[in-house]
Amino acid sequence: MVNYKDLGLVNTKEMFAKAIKGGYAIPAFNFNNMEQMQAIIKAAVETKSPVILQVSKGARQYANATLLRYMAQGAVEYAKELGCPNPQIVLHLDHGDTFETCKSCIDSGFSSVMIDGSHLPYEENVALTKKVVDYAHQFDVTVEGELGVLAGVEDEVSSDHHTYTDPEEVIDFATRTGCDSLAISIGTSHGAYKFTPEQCHIDPKTGKMVPPPLAFEVLDAVMEKLPGFPIVLHGSSSVPEEEVETINKFGGALKAAIGIPEEELRKAAKSAVCKINIDSDSRLAMTAAIRKTFAEKPAEFDPRKYLGPARDNMEKLYKHKILNVLGSDNKL
């Protein structure tokens, strides 16, 4: 058993309480490798932002669970090296799908876990979430539950439809499970292909496709039922147009990739939404920089020469999200 406090990590409790009061959201960035982690920590330190390092079940399989834990411990020391004496870094399991996965993460030093029982019948979701909460709270680990289903694909999580969260269920769910935060469905979606062209309309001024607006009425109803309770948005990548254009310019084939408008995410961040998950955007930033290097320097084969620019491009993206979308800068 490794306690996250011994690794220098924190849980989300105080972080979320401050975010709700302050009208901003904590960035929850997924990482699978060293370059992503370096970019996340540099961006967080330079903007003086708390940050959540998210690890999916797929990332644990790809990078090795033990290595990821030591990377998170290294992230804390790296932040200190960069001039942040008291970093606020959470190591969070994204989309845990079984009690065993959540327990494994808690036992290996995670400070926060998500148990996603949203695909189960309601009573089974309640029972599974409560089981994880009862175990996690023994070690002061915070737990995120989920109500409602998000469409799209992310690692091993996929659905071809979304179901908005039912505000009538949230009080019962939060009370009976004891979860610390709740991921809800208001129209965000996993992956880079969040909407079909048929779901969008063309902006007459710009000629660009605009996705359907988020269901803020659902968010408002949830906040009315659970005032001051930490709300989480998954599937909140904006799919930056410039990164998609770079990828396609240098041989990629990303067609009709549309994300969530950043102004909608900023609006959500000013409410009880205190954690916003971003994964696809950093993948796009990384891929765009690598494709550009390969196209412009076809003789290059040193990984540092293409992963270095990729890391820099991701750091730029993370800073932009913190400063202009989430508002979590200078909140340490």
Which residues carry out catalysis? 94
> Is-contact 56 78, C-beta < 8 A?
no
Q: How far apart are CA 54 and CA 32, in angstroms?
A: 9
| Three-class SS of the chain | CCCHHHHCCCCCHHHHHHHHHHCCCEEEEECCCHHHHHHHHHHHHHHCCCEEEEEEHHHHHHHCHHHHHHHHHHHHHHHHHCCCCCCCEEEEEEEECCHHHHHHHHHCCCCEEEECCCCCCHHHHHHHHHHHHHHHHHHCCEEEEEECECEEEECCEEECCCECCCHHHHHHHHHHHCCCEEEECCCCEECCECCCHHHCEECCCCCCEECCCCCHHHHHHHHHHCCCCCEEECCCCCCCHHHHHHHHHCCCCCCCCECCCHHHHHHHHCCCEEEEEECHHHHHHHHHHHHHHHHHCCCCCCHHHHHHHHHHHHHHHHHHHHHHHHCCCCCC
The single residue listed with the structure tokens 């065993």 is 100
Phi and psi at residue 48, in whole multiples of 5°?
Answer: 55, 50
Q: How far apart are CA 293 and CA 298, in angstroms?
A: 8
Q: How far apart are CA 151 and CA 144, in angstroms?
A: 19
Smallest Cα–Cα separation from 289: which of 19, 36, 104? 36
